[in-house]
Amino acid sequence: MEAIGRLSGGVAHDFKNLLTGIIGLTELAIETVDKGSDSYSILKQILSGARRGSRLTKQLLNLSRKRVVRPHTIDLAKIVRDMEGMLRSVISENIEFDVEAPEEAIYIQADPSQIEQVIMNVVLNARDAMPGGGKIKVCVTDSASVHFHPQGREGRADDNRACLVVADTGCGMHEKILGKILDPFYTTKPPGKGTGLGLSTVYGIVKQIGGSIEVESEPGKGSKFYIYFPRVLEPVEIEKRERPPLYEKPELPQAITILVVEDEIAILDIMSFVLKREGYRVYTAQSAEEATKILNEQNIKVDLLIADLIMPGMSGTELAEKLKEDFPDMKIIYTSGYTEDILVQKDLLEWDAVFLEKPFSTEVLLRFCSRVLKKRGKN
């Protein structure tokens, strides 16, 4: 599992670099065409597809990697709705897939990536139970609405719980198998087809949250997984993703010099173009060594460094430490296709550093620069 996590992390990193280039170039192209034209419509579809790819990549990373667990109040119904497209993509065409998740929020206290992992693993288990096709239904409700309340190994379900139900019309299971399916390394699949870790991982996550799992199944009649979570009826604090403020260029008393260091040439060119258009003085380099050479050859003072964290040769953090000796007031924005918590685990990023995760839009890039430079102006 650890090897799979490392592999998917590396692939996702490269894919996010590609998406950063696609998103940036498409946004710039959109600015050059009329809103009512066919070209505008086509470019908007390309941009929408790239953003969906970005969300998909983040979800895949969440499902495969070790990460810092950060539980907070989340809407279980919204998570299921947001995952519907991804779930459909991993299910065979001969399987009918249906999702029922109310618009009314059903709050629980959990790490969203762990809940995504629970949903994905149970749905994949249902898919594998019907190689000849069938139907999978995913439903989110409160436990009072669930008619099946078994007295199983987890104890009774109560009415103050949120319930995730995953039902399939697959082969079903005998009672003897039902008692083992949540055990680590237990699998009914042929050698090479399953690890026996999927449902045991689900069990571990749900238990950690304080939830429970019940399973209803009969041979030839499919299976139903009832996963209960403690429900937050009156959330005090909810993580809201409010629309960020529009970009406003900071009013600073002098011209700003920005050094951009990025080994992907397409991303480097996009950032350079966008920043120069805003009136910043921009110098670019594809490596930390090239950046150092430019600074040695030219008498410039760097106000803001934008650097990819992981590059061939010297890393972004090593470059920043070196430049800080000559420019102690220099502000720094690190970028990377790796996620923030992975970088922290590898001691590549401090928690208080300004970090911009790829892929990012041109507006987000400008907004980050504005935020950092405004802080500089106050110092």
**pLDDT band for position 8 (50/70/90)?**
low
> 312: burial class by Cβ within 10 Å (0-12, 13-18, 19+)?
exposed
Residue 151: what pLDDT?
Answer: 41
**pLDDT band for position 128 (50/70/90)?**
confident
Sequence spans of domains, the chain = 2-64, 72-230, 257-378
Summarize the confidence of residues 276-297 as an average pLDDT: 94
Summarize the confidence of residues 349-378 as an average pLDDT: 80
Q: Which of 156, 265, 168, 279 is nearest to 225 (CA)?
A: 168
Residue 133: what pLDDT?
Answer: 87
- pTM check: above 0.75: no
How confident is the model over 152-175, as pLDDT tens digits? 434 444 567 899 999 998 887 767
Domain 72-230, second-level architecture: 2-Layer Sandwich (3.30)
Summarize the confidence of residues 184-211 as an average pLDDT: 64
Q: Is residue 13 over pLDDT 60?
A: yes
Give the number of C-alpha atoms closer than 13 A to the C-alpha of residue 274, restricted to the C-beta side: 28
Residue 220: what pLDDT?
Answer: 83
Q: Which of 282, 288, 329 is nearest to 308 (CA)?
A: 288
Tokens of 118: 């629970």
Q: Is residue 145 over pLDDT 70?
A: no
Residue 1: what pLDDT?
Answer: 46
How confident is the model over 214-266, as pLDDT tens digits? 888 888 888 899 999 998 876 655 555 444 555 556 665 568 999 999 999 99
Contact 223, 172 (CB under 8 A): yes
What is the pLDDT of the chain when averaged over all its residues? 79
* Lowest-confidence segment of 152-161, 230-239, 304-313, 323-332 by average pLDDT: 152-161
Summarize the confidence of residues 117-138 as an average pLDDT: 87
Cα–Cα distance for residue pair 340/358, rounded to 1 Å = 10
Paired strand residues for 203: none
Domain 257-378, second-level architecture: 3-Layer(aba) Sandwich (3.40)
